[in-house]
Each structure stands twice: as C-alpha cells, then as structure tokens.
Amino acid sequence: MALQGPVCGTSSIAHAPASSSDTNTRGSPSRGSQSSIGPVSIRADNERSDVSPETLERAEALSANSVEALPVGGLAKQLERGEPLRIKLGIDPTAPDIHLGHTVVLNKLRQFQDDGHQVVLIIGDYTARVGDPTGRSEQRPMLDPEAIDRNAKTFQEQAFKILDPEKTEVRFNSEWLRMEPEELLGLLAKATIAQLLERDDFQKRMSAEEPISALELLYPLLQGYDSVAVRSDVELGGTDQKFNLLFGRSIQSAYDCPLQTVMTMPILPGVDGVRRMSKSTGNYIGVTDPPDEMFGKVMSVPDETAPDYWRLLLGLEPPQDPPNVAKRALGRALVERFHDAEAAAAAEEHFDRVFVRHEAPEEIEEFVMDGDPVHLPAALADAFGISRSEARRVLGQGGVKLEGEVLPAEPLDYPAEDLADRVLQLGKRRFKRFRLAL
C-alpha cells in the first residue's frame, strides 16, 4: 500500500499552531514522570460545551492510566465527530522480543480497538536504521537489515498476543521513507535546527560537549512524517517519547494535515523497581518467558512497585492483601494471560518447590554440550537463550551455580566431563542439566 503523490496539503509551515493547551510541552519529561499514574483531565474549560457528556466520559475512559493527553480536550473533540479514529503506534524493531513494559502501550491500543477505532502499527524498519536518540548519551549503532526484518516478524507475532489482528493495520515505514532526494529535501525544509535541538537529550549532550550526528537530528522528522503518511488522529508512546510525538504535530501542520492528539503512557519499572524495564539491563519480564520464569520474576518485584503492575498491565486496582499474597495473585494473573490457567498453577507450585521448600525442580531440561573443552559463556548462551555478553555478566556477578555452588568469573573453559550429568543454574529460576553428546 505505498503512498502515491502528495499527502495532505503542500504547505511549508514549520511550526504547529500553538495554544494555551500545548505550549511549553517540548522536550522529554524527567524520568520521575513514570510514576504519574492515574486519571488524566481531558476537559479544557473553553471546550466543555463543544462535546456531549457521553463523549467526555468516553474520552476519560480512553485516557485512563495515561500521563498526558495533549492538547487538553482534543481527544473528546475528535470523538465527538462520531467517526473511527486512526490510532498510531510506531515501533523500531531493534530487539527480537517484547517485554511487559511494551504491553503498557499495547494494552491502551487494544482499548481503542475495543472502542471501535483503527489501530495503525508502524514497524520502523527504516527508522531503525537511523536510531532513536531518545534517552541516549551517544549515537545508537546501525542495525543489520536482516536482523531488523527478523525482529519485525517476531514483534508482530508477540504484539498480537494483545492486539486484535483483524483490527490492526500493519505498515512498514520504508514504504514512504525511501524518498527521492527532492522529497527528502522538502521534508528537511519543514523544520529548523533550533526546533530539533530543543529536545532534552540533545541539550544534555551539548552541555557535556558530546557529539550529535546529523543522522540523529533526522529521526524526529522521519517519525513525524509517519504521522502524515498514515493520517494519524492519535499517537501513543511512553513519556520518554513526548518530544517525538509532539514533533509529529509540527510535521502534520507543515503538510496541512489535521493535527493528531498525543497520549503518553507511564514507563513500567523493571523487576528491580528502580530503572525502566529493559532487556539491556536484564530487569525485564518477556511476554514469551516460560511460565516458571515469569512467575518467579513477578515475585521478585518490590512490594511498592507491584501496584503499578496491577494498574498498567491488568487495568485493575491491587487487592488489599498482604504484599506476598497480592504478588502471587499478580503472578498467576500474568502467567494465565500469556499462557493459561494450568501453566499459572504449575508455575506457582514450581516457585514453592524451589524457593519455599528449597527443593530442586521436578523436571529439568537437558542441554547437550558440543565440544571439549566447553566455553561456558557460549554454552550458557545456547542453553538459556541469552547473549554471550549477558552470560559473562551473570558469571561475573556470581549468578551461575553448578550443583548449588557459585561458579567464579574465571576460568571460562571447563573440561566437558566436569559438567556432564550436572545441573547448572542461571540466576534464581533457570536450570539445565548438561549432558555429553553421544
């Protein structure tokens, strides 16, 4: 479905029209904004009379658990038109799997679907080659095109655990971003360097005299053009994406397009309760994690963080139970959602066996070693599905045990017979019995 010809109008206006409801909103918010969970006001005093009470109630329900919906009152006015809205989410497939942090926004998309709207899921196969500078102190490395394609396929499969595929329009932004030079120059002319440098990440890097590549400056323009190409009415993203989302309104204005409403969602804390959930820090719960692992990770979430998981992942208020009891219920609910009820019950029994009664798991999968000696980081990577760098990191942190004894960071090579028919444990919850190849 490649776009042909000009999109919207042909204006060269570089700034979206400002109003009292969306001034002073540029730049990424502080990381503390991830805790701002609760109802969002979508009623602008000067717009209350423009929409019906029923529409206001509907807009408030769709904005529940978001941090901001800008401009204030914009969503209600869009809903009052009585037409299905086009709800955009752009994802750069920079990693093969998604974790529960991603599902916060996906859950909101599903809510819009259930309300009768069209979700447009943009796979940023082109922008992934540029690299989003959000939250970065240096330029992201460029990814291999084949890796991007593999990640994109996996992401769609996992996203459809939440989204209704029949109500999801999947687009790849290489459709419209592989521009002729004249088109690209036209896009570049629609923004100023001053606008692009307003973002908080760039301000910090300039203050620290760290380089900013011209490629990174291009990213917000490309993401903004996505909103033009798919005629976005509403764009969703995390609070760290606020600059990019609002910049999309500027690009829409430059092309004489109707301006989208932007909705920012809280950032889910990782299982450490401190940093945002991320695979790079290892504090994540993957949507395809085995049931035992998923339940165990939920049980490690700090008590004060667990209520956020209830609200953002399940849309429920946490039960008024002791923290340990409430987290067990949370673990069962999440495992049941991504697996089934039988898996949830078995995962809780596994947790009790290993961490309450301190017994070995009833069933331990086998891993057949290849070669002698065995290079442990490579074997751990193959056995547990992690990278070799992560394996070395866990080894260095004392997170690998052989028959219950912590292995040192060195040596990294072991005779195969020293590992044969023995159980290696990675972290607190993962076990494999190593076997010699026949």
Distance CA 64, CA 314 (A): 13
| Closest-CA residue to 155 (of 88, 106, 116, 109) | 106
Rounded alpha-carbon distances, angstroms, from residue 74 to 234, 238, 411: 10, 19, 61
Cα atoms in the Cβ-side hemisphere of radius 13 Å centred on 78? 25
Q: What mean pLDDT is predicted for residues 14-37?
A: 33
Distance CA 301, CA 272 (A): 6
pTM here? Answer: 0.73
| Closest-CA residue to 142 (of 84, 94, 210) | 94
Structural domains of the chain in order of their starting residue, each with its CATH number: 31-265 (3.40.50.620), 291-356 (no CATH), 366-436 (3.10.290.10)
Would you say residue 115 has pLDDT above 50?
yes
What is the structure's pLDDT at 240? 87
| Closest-CA residue to 35 (of 239, 197, 254) | 239
Query: Distance of alpha carbon 123 from its chain centroid, rounded?
Result: 13
Q: Which amino acid is at 29?
A: P
Tell me the per-residue pLDDT of 198-245, one tens digit each, with 9 for 90 and over. 877 778 878 888 888 877 788 889 999 999 999 999 999 999 889 889
Distance CA 235, CA 237 (A): 7
Q: What mean pLDDT is predicted for residues 297-312?
A: 95
Tell me the per-residue pLDDT of 391-433, one tens digit each, with 9 for 90 and over. 999 999 999 998 878 999 899 999 988 898 888 888 877 888 8
Tell me the per-residue pLDDT of 165-186, one tens digit each, with 9 for 90 and over. 999 999 999 999 999 988 989 9
Quote the DSSP letter at residue 137.
Answer: S
Side by side, the strands of the sheet bearing 168-172 are 68-70, 261-265, 234-238, 86-91, 118-123, 168-172
Q: Among positive and negative, which fits the CA dihedral 14, 16, 19, 23?
A: negative
Q: What mean pLDDT is predicted for residues 32-55?
A: 56
In terms of average pLDDT, the best of 329-343, 350-364, 397-411 is 329-343
Q: What mean pLDDT is predicted for residues 278-304?
A: 91
* Band of pLDDT at residue 136, cut at 50, 70 and 90: very low
What is the structure's pLDDT at 88? 97
Q: Strand 405-406 to strand 400-402: parallel, antiparallel, or no bridges (unpaired)? A: antiparallel
Q: Which amino acid is at 56?
A: L
Three-state DSSP state, 307: helix
Distance CA 64, CA 66 (A): 6
Q: What mean pLDDT is predicted for residues 46-65?
A: 84
Rounded alpha-carbon distances, angstroms, from residue 263 to 72, 79, 86, 341: 10, 14, 13, 33
Quote the DSSP letter at residue 352.
Answer: I
Question: How close are the terminal C-alpha atoms of the chain, in Å?
Answer: 52
When mean pLDDT is compared across 100-104, 125-129, 199-203, the lowest value belongs to: 199-203
